[in-house]
Structure 1
């Protein structure tokens, strides 16, 4: 498929989902994009795996985006401002408020189910139900949509706060005290830990992701810290500044060499716990 696609384009495939990305700034870029769509259509028809053009859409990113109309065969592709990609809502502004609200609603619905069906709400029961039915919604693909705006953080945090209030013996306590009693961290702290663990997985090739596609190694390692320090690139917009590969750098670089050199993922997680993550 990729042999006929322009060199500036990127094709991503997962199961029956295909995404084509291309930088578009000139008329030639627009032509290249349409040509690439045509090549995808020809490939699909050749292999009898035709795309449903009515379900395909175009999303434009950037402040100077070119709003051009594209076609797949005779069908004009609709333009969309928000699309779900593997369970994550992606908007053309790259803001995550919709995703945060959606996952928070799922968590609250799960809490409502628990409240209606469990009259006896001991500490152990509520914790197990929260971790198995509620928190997965707040954790799913978090590296892709971790919020940086306070209003979005609060939306996620309130779900855990409501969950801890389901336990009668501690519901009168402050949120911080309830977390301490339950040996839980804030969701924000949990996201930080998740970022660091994901970085370890990538840097150690546990996940099949080339680290160079996400991270930039620091030119100067210095004598303090560890031997796998990363560098931040300049960010003009907050969208880039708080992207996973940028926001994790500071916490990753703070880790001691003993943690970085952990032989297994389990050992690494244990080291993080000792360090307060």
Structure 2
């Protein structure tokens, strides 16, 4: 198996598996969440939630329409990170507003499919849909 350094920051193996990419993104998100945890005393819960959404969650969602079908064991670290983020926010009412990551991945995939189906993409992609 050969690792292909993907364009736009997505690493794909030669057998189209995203395990390495997902692992590295989970590590990066976890590190950033750790920084937020160490600094949480300086922020109100609403600000901690905004920081999570702006600085951590994007690492777990970037190009998720490509790898959303990965096995559950490869996606579960992201769910654990979001649960940690909920505890760091430390306000159940605010934390309940976080949509599950699986729902956000599905929505992203549907948005891409909608754009392809309606021709709001490159001609090459549009021609793939009958």
Structure 2 length normalisation: TM-score?
Answer: 0.84
- In structure 1, which of residues 141, 144, 167 is the aligned counterpart of residue 89 of structure 2? 167
| More helix as a share of residues | 2
For residues 71 and 110 of structure 2, what CA distance do their matches in structure 1 show? 20
- In structure 1, which of residues 185, 200, 208 is the aligned counterpart of residue 122 of structure 2? 208
2:11 maps to what in 1? 89
Q: Secondary structure at the match of 1:166?
A: helix
What is the alpha-carbon root mean square deviation over aligned residues?
Answer: 2.1
Q: Decide whether the 8 Å contact of 2:29 with 2:81 is kept in 1.
A: yes
For residues 169 and 121 of structure 1, what CA distance do their matches in structure 2 show? 12
Residues 2-32 of structure 1, C-alpha deviation per residue, up to 9 Å, x if partnerless?
xxxxxxxxxxxxxxxxxxxxxxxxxxxxxxx
1:134 maps to what in 2? 56
Q: Secondary structure at the match of 2:89?
A: coil
Asked whether 1:152 is paired with 2:74, we answer yes
Q: Decide whether the 8 Å contact of 1:82 with 1:92 is kept in 2.
A: yes
Moved segments of 4+, more than 4 Å: none
| Structure 1 unaligned residues grouped into runs of 5+ | 1-79, 171-177, 217-277
| More strand as a share of residues | 1
**Bigger radius of gyration among the two:** 1
For residues 117 and 137 of structure 1, what CA distance do their matches in structure 2 show? 19
For residues 122 and 142 of structure 1, what CA distance do their matches in structure 2 show? 30
